[in-house]
Amino acid sequence: MHNLGILLSGRGSNFIAIADSIDAGRIPNARIAVVISNQPDAPAIETAKQRGLTVLVIPSKGLPREEHDRAVVAALNEHAAEWVCLAGYMRLLSPWFVQQFPQRILNIHPSLLPAFPGLDAQKQAFEYGVRVSGCTVHLVDEQLDHGAIVLQKAVPVLDSDDDHSLAARILEQEHIAYSEALNIVLKGGYEIVGRRLQRKD
Ligand code: GRF
């Protein structure tokens, strides 16, 4: 059984999708060991409590990055988290944090990386005028929205879209993609060659 630590800051719909997949047996070899929010008022905190999960609030406001990260990593270790899932965690990780979980941190980003990293990716994509966008689940390295790609899902941009409707359709795919990506990495049997996640067999 693989222990997951979930880090989030807000709504938590990706966290809920992962928890639903685990409960439905779609990620058979994982459990959520701990959910950590850096935002005391994140709606996902209540959701996680209602699901009977261990939830911790470790406020980041005003703290130097690495000091906060040390508290988060201590909590992850205390709950024996083996994998870290960033699920709308609106805070950059320090290099130190990344080094504590080498190639064991996943992030989901609402664009087809390397296009449109950073904030408001769906709006960036819409305003750029791309005809296809989507989402990316990737391993986290020391650069923003940058590590090796595990999985991407494409979403067409429709003539009738605005940035909100596009974001909503991308979000539907995010919820599917995160669980699929977890199944890929938890199964193992791959190595990272350059930027590529490559099957060993
Ligand atoms: C998602 O769009 C995710 O891709 C991005 O932040 C948003 C979080 O949404 N990293 P939620 O909190 O999972 O609902």
Mean pLDDT of 1-23: 98
Over residues 166-187, the pLDDT tens digits come to 999 999 999 999 999 999 999 9
Number of residues that make up the chain: 201
Say whether 109 is catalytic.
yes
Percent of the chain exceeding pLDDT 70 equals 100
| pLDDT for residue 195 | 95
pLDDT class for 160, splitting at 50, 70, 90? very high
Sheet holding 105-109, edge to edge: 55-57, 30-37, 2-8, 83-86, 105-109, 132-139, 149-156
Mean pLDDT of 34-41: 98
| pLDDT for residue 26 | 97
Atom of ligand 1 minimally distant from the CA of 44? 12
Q: What's the predicted TM-score (pTM) here?
A: 0.97
| pLDDT for residue 111 | 98
| pLDDT for residue 201 | 76
Tokens at residue 150, please? 């595990």
Cα–ligand 1 centroid distance for 23 (angstroms)? 20
CB of 134 shorter than 6 A to ligand 1: no
The distance in angstroms from the start CA to the end CA of the chain is 23
Mean pLDDT of 52-71: 97
Q: Which domains does the chain have, with CATH numbers?
A: 1-101 (3.40.50.170), 107-201 (3.40.50.170)
Which amino acid is present at 2? H
Whether pLDDT at 198 is above 90:
yes
| Chain mean pLDDT for the chain | 97
Mutate to test the pocket of ligand 1, among 9, 36, 108, 164 (most ligand atoms within 8 A of CB): 108
Whether pLDDT at 162 is above 80:
yes
Which residue, by CA, sits nearest to atom 2 of ligand 1?
Answer: 110
E-only strand ranges, the chain: 2-8, 30-37, 55-57, 83-86, 105-109, 132-139, 149-156, 190-193, 196-199
Residues in CB range of 69: below 8 A, 6 or more apart? 93, 94, 96, 97
| pLDDT for residue 103 | 97
Atom of ligand 1 minimally distant from the CA of 13? 14
Active site residue: 2, 109, 146, 164, which one?
109
Over residues 77-132, the pLDDT tens digits come to 999 999 999 999 999 999 999 999 999 999 999 999 999 999 999 999 999 999 99
Which residue, by CA, sits nearest to atom 5 of ligand 1?
Answer: 88
CB of 108 shorter than 6 A to ligand 1: yes
